Amino acid sequence: GSSVTVVTDDGSKRDYTVVGSAEAAPLDGKISNESPVGRALLGREVGDEVEVKTPSGVMKLTIASIR
């Protein structure tokens, strides 16, 4: 799983590790590659902006780093 730091549209930073669905633990920052955020981050590069449709609305994320 890649670790990704994103900046949200309100300016806050979040760290995610993209993992398989069996390993997902969203409260620990481990998101499934099948989740809306995980799918949106796959194949992206630093500086890319993505929009993610979630049950609570659309999130805009900018990829700050990938490790």
In whole angstroms, give the CA distance from residue 35 to residue 52: 10
- State pLDDT tens for residues 6-58: 999 999 999 999 999 999 999 999 999 999 999 999 999 999 999 999 888 99
In terms of pTM, does the model score above 0.85? yes
Buried b (16+ CB within 10 A) or exposed e, 41-63: beeeeeeeebebeeeeeebebbb
Q: Where are the alpha helices (DSSP H) in the chain?
A: 36-41
